[in-house]
Amino acid sequence: MIDAARTLVGSAARIVTFSGAGLSAESGVPTFRDADTNGFWTDYDPAKLASPEGFAEDPELVYNWYNERRRNIAEVQPNPAHLALAAQPDIINVTQNIDDLLHRAGAKRVIQLHGTLATDHCNAGCGFQESVNIADPPPLRSCPDCGNRLRPSVVWFGERLPSRAWAEAEEACLGCDLLLVVGTAAEVYPAAGLIGLAQRSGARIVVVNTNPSAAGEIADIELTGPAGEILPMLLNP
Ligand code: BV8
């Protein structure tokens, strides 16, 4: 299977990757689905905390939960999967991840559909935003411009995706001839809809995942195993 996938990679002119939490798992960043194996997921329901309602109900809890995740990401390193992608400058990386590991691996073309932990912005939408030091993040605080709260610049459940990132991701998936789907359960929409969009536009689909996923049903090739082992085998010359 890996040889067949390598042949697809070799003959593809425009490769796009669509990734999720599994891409960063081997770096030591907990995913959403294996919540029972690590601290900051076990006590909380991500879908509840990662929502405007959750933030409104307990802004301190939600903001501190993101700061815990910020410190975790600051302490870990890109893994061989991030590095293998970063070594291919022509690949466009569409990711649901809010970490900066692809950027730190040197990837130049990264589209973050669900935002980033590296920035806060005004929850009231006045336009204020500022970068934060994820290694030593600031506390929950008010917007200096309008007095409302600042929040992490991530997309919460029930919120629309950033329109520019969405447009760029759609264009990339419509125009690609190979979509590598890496480390995602492919259950969160509208992001997961990009896989079907690419396929309907004629792209071949290769899935890399340690477990079966919804993407497997429409994949041309499904490679089962850790991204940190498979992507170097798939992409390195
Ligand atoms: C929207 C940022 C509408 C925040 C995230 C009911 C009510 C409200 C909404 C909905 C609803 N029903 C459906 C919806 C839509 C909802 C949705 O899809 N819900 C799902 C749960 C059914 N979507 C939304 O709400 C979206 N917005 O619809 O707005 C709208 C429209 C117009 C105008 C206004 C509003 C917004 C969704 C974005 C939510 N934000 N993240 C944060 O991180 O805190 S989603 C979150 O899930 C992350 O981004 C994560 O990446 C993403 C998806 O999860 P995965 O990446 O797939 O991670 P997961 O843990 O699930 O899986 C990991 C995979 O990796 C597994 O398959 C595993 O096997 C694999 N793996 C593990 N280790 C490895 C590996 N693979 C390879 N190698 C390894 N080593």
Instruction: Please say whether the beta carbons of 206 and 195 come within 8 A.
Output: no
Instruction: Please say whether the beta carbons of 66 and 117 come within 8 A.
Output: yes
| Ligand 1 pocket, residue 185 CB under 6 Å | yes
Ligand 1 centroid to Cα of residue 128, in Å, is 26
pLDDT averaged per 10 residues in sequence order, the chain, 237 residues: 96 98 95 62 78 96 95 97 98 98 98 98 98 98 98 98 98 98 97 98 98 95 98 94
Measured distance CA(158)–CA(160) in Å, rounded = 7
What is the reported pLDDT for 31?
86
Measured distance CA(65)–CA(42) in Å, rounded = 12
| Ligand 1 pocket, residue 33 CB under 6 Å | yes
What is the reported pLDDT for 237?
81
Q: Whose CA is closest to atom 42 on ligand 1? A: 50
Q: Which two tokens stand for residue 149?
A: 């709260």
C-alpha dist (Å) from residue 114 to 4, 9, 86, 156: 32, 27, 20, 8
Report pLDDT digits (tens) over 84-106: 999 999 999 999 999 999 999 99
Q: Whose CA is closest to atom 28 on ligand 1? A: 158
| Ligand 1 pocket, residue 184 CB under 6 Å | yes
Instruction: Name 79's Cβ contacts closer than 8 Å, sequence gap at least 6.
Output: 24, 26, 27, 101, 227, 228
* Positions marked active-site: 114
What is the reported pLDDT for 37?
55
Ligand 1 centroid to Cα of residue 7, in Å, is 31
**Where do the H-state alpha helices sit in 18-141?**
22-25, 39-42, 46-49, 52-57, 59-75, 80-86, 101-105
Ligand 1 centroid to Cα of residue 98, in Å, is 11
